[in-house]
Amino acid sequence: MTGKTMHIRLFSEADQEAVLSLWATCGLIRPWNDPVKDIQRKLGFQPNTFLVGLVDDRIVGSLMAGYDGHRGWFNYLAVAPLYRQLGYGRLLVQYAENLLRQAGCPKVNVQIRCENRPVAAFYRSLNYETDDVLSLGKRLLQDD
Q: How are the residues of the chain apportioned to helix, strand and coil, as percentages rounded to the nearest 5?
A: 35, 20, 40
What would the DSSP string read from start to end of 70-87?
S-EEEEEEEE-GGGTTSS
Q: Where are the alpha helices (DSSP H) in the chain?
A: 16-25, 35-44, 88-102, 117-125
pTM for the structure as a whole: 0.91
CATH architecture assignment, domain 7-125: 3-Layer(aba) Sandwich (3.40)
The mean predicted confidence, pLDDT, of the chain is 93
Q: Give residue limits of the domains in the chain.
A: 7-125
Residue 51's alpha-carbon distances to 94, 99, 100, in angstroms, are: 11, 11, 13
Contact 91, 125 (CB under 8 A): no
Higher pLDDT, 19 or 142: 19
Residues 39-87 pLDDT 10s: 999 999 999 999 999 999 999 999 999 999 999 999 999 999 999 999 9
Residues 34-45 pLDDT 10s: 999 999 999 999
- pLDDT at residue 3, as a whole number: 65
